[in-house]
A = this chain, B = another copy of it.
Amino acid sequence: MQHDQDAKDRRGTRREGRSEKIRARTARNAIAAPYTIRRIGLVSLIDDESIAIIERNADRILDEIGMEFRGDAETLDLFRRHGARVDGERVRFDPGWCRDKIRTAPRVFTQHARNPARSIQVGGNAQVYCPSFGPPFVYDIERGRRYATIQDFRDITKIHHQLAAVNHSGGVVVEPVDLPVPVRHLHMAHAHLTLNDKPFMGAVTAPERARDTIEMCKLAMGAEFVENNCVLYSVVNTNAPLVMDETMLWALKEYAKAGQCTVVSPFVLGGAMSPVTIAGTLAQVLAEVLASVALIQLIRPGAPAAFGTFFSPISLKTGAPTFGTPEGTQFQMCAKTLADRLGLPFHSVGALTASKVPDAQAGYESQAQLMGAAMAGVNFIIHATGCLEGLLTTGYEKIVMDADRCSAMMRFVQGVDFSETAQAMDAFHEVPPGGHFLGAAHTQALFETALWMGDMSDNGTYEQWSAEGALWEHERAALKVRKLLQDYEAPQMDIAVRESLDDFVARRTREIEGETA
């Protein structure tokens, strides 16, 4: 990083001379819309006959083997009263039963952000890009890998607030391991609500934590509003194969009762937690989603829900999860088809990588996963930014590198302009064979908007790149991270609201510490 200061100085000088161009570019690249509408077709990887087979197999799994819902008598009773076959904690379902129950789930819904301009559509042709969820470690090229703290959580939330290609503030963007587990959710929700004004995710680690998160939303957005609208989007993982444990079950119940969105996302390491084949895993995942979303609709008909997937084939070499594989994308594309058939929004993974560092492996794998997700038509792309080490680590540089690729994907899925202006027939009469289009009126008129332009790739000459310090992308990304943290300005918030959130966190911390003391 010895070249940082030089590079920054040069950048400073250059910036003034080109401020006009850069302003124009910034305006052009700003994602005005809080989400992207996909206007291109899907890739067909599964034909009608195979769809019918997978759906029949899922029905058979639910009928013959069933799914276990653990540790909650109320759930088992609810299933029994509505006609499912309950045997201990194992619940079996007649073919078609689950499909019938989930008809009340909305095809499309809005998750409201504190800032209404940031509210997102979930489902239909909408596409939302959301940060990584869950890593206990953070990485940056200067300090390396270390346990994450609440300061990291806040810094990452500040970075995401400023990235136009990220539509969501996420959930556990990193685990703040310096805080006691029972109070972490309070500080995470506080950060999401005060440092970022995009929508965010609810805690799923205990029912009272879910309730706390809902209460904090009520303070920030009004109790009545929260009672009547979806303001939290929460991800519940099944314990594949065919189990939902007590913790996830309780979170699902809390959010469903409150009319908040619950995504049912079977977490599957292919070959270990599911069959080693895509066809087998699809049937299992469909079965788990059918039963779990049916439960949501039994608890509160009409509560928003989504069909989620997290599929990673395990490595033959190490038994570890792998990313950026052909099977990962194939699975996602097929699962999207199954979700469409159920009329549920589809949630799945974005820029995942097994790499420990922001190297070429991280680039190849993340781009493969992200492009697969975008082309699969995933409605809510989780883990779209920051993933390293298969979600054990969030990388600071990786966040801004991934976000640049998200913005490219947003542009890609919006399709091609075939308007008369785009056809450029006048330009051909202006520019002779062998001529140059740069000065043509058509080019000048469209230059600022016609092409996507990222901000992380170096496209200049070798000589210029060398003169600027010969920085690799992760080194340029480190400079951008520093700048984003320096330039950060908190989104506006009414002082009374802010104080009520501060007070809530303080009071609940005292109560929880009292309980656990």
Chain A positions within 8 Å of B, measured between CB atoms, are 21, 25, 40-46, 50, 53-54, 57, 60-61, 64-68, 90, 145, 239, 241-243, 270-280, 283-284, 313-327, 329-330, 334, 354-368, 371-372, 375, 389-390, 392-393, 401, 404-405, 408-409, 411-412, 415-419, 421-425, 427-429, 431-438, 440, 442-443, 446-448, 450-454, 456-462, 464-465, 470, 472-474, 477
What chain B residues lie within 8 Å of A57 (beta carbons)? Answer: 423, 425
| B residues less than 8 Å from A465 (CB atoms) | 356
Are A412 and B457 also in contact (CB < 8 A) when A271-B450, A277-B422 are?
no
A279 touches B416 (CB 8 A): yes
Write out the residue numbers on chain B whose beta carbons fall within 8 Å of the beta carbon of A454: 325
Are A357 and B472 also in contact (CB < 8 A) when A280-B427, A326-B412, A457-B322 are? yes
- Find out whether the CB atom of B438 lies under 8 angstroms from the CB atom of A65: no
Cβ contact within 8 Å between A313 and B242: no
Could you tell me if B276 and A451 are in contact, using CB atoms closer than 8 angstroms?
yes
Shortest C-beta distance, A322 to chain B (Å), equals 5
CB distance from A206 to the nearest CB of B (A): 21
Task: Across the interface, name the chain B residue whose C-beta is closest to A287.
Answer: B428
Give A241 Cβ to nearest chain B Cβ, in Å.
6
B363 touches A434 (CB 8 A): no
A437 touches B271 (CB 8 A): yes
- Which of A46, A279, A317, A433 has the most chain B CB within a 10 Å cutoff? A433
Copy tally for this chain in the complex stands at 2
The one of B272, B284, B321, B458 in contact with A459, judged by C-beta atoms closer than 8 angstroms, is B321
Q: Which residues in B have their C-beta under 8 angstroms from that of A43?
A: 40-43, 375
With A327-B451, A330-B415 in contact, is A458–B276 under 8 Å at CB?
no
Chain B residues within an 8 Å CB radius of A326: 408-409, 411-412, 452
Task: Given A272-B438, A451-B316, A473-B355, check contact A433 B280 (CB 8 Å).
Answer: no
Known pairs A41-B45, A277-B417; A362 contacts B363 (CB<8 A): yes
The distance in angstroms between the C-alpha atoms of A435 and B499, with both chains bound, is 48
Shortest C-beta distance, A114 to chain B (Å), equals 31
Chain B residue at minimal CB-CB distance from A329: B412
8 CB < 8 A contacts A-B: A25-B316, A271-B437, A275-B443, A276-B437, A279-B417, A280-B424, A320-B461, A330-B415
In the complex with contacts A44-B40, A433-B67, A474-B359, A418-B53 CB distance below 8 A: yes
Are B241 and A356 closer than 8 Å at their CB atoms?
no
Q: Is the CB of A437 within 8 A of B274?
A: yes
In the bound assembly, the distance between CA atoms of A52 and B147 in angstroms comes to 58
Tell me the complex Cα distance, A50–B417, Å: 10
Residue of B nearest to A365 (CB): B457
From residue A189, how far is it (CB to closest CB) to chain B in Å? 29
- The CA-CA distance from A138 to B182 in the complex, in Å, is 56
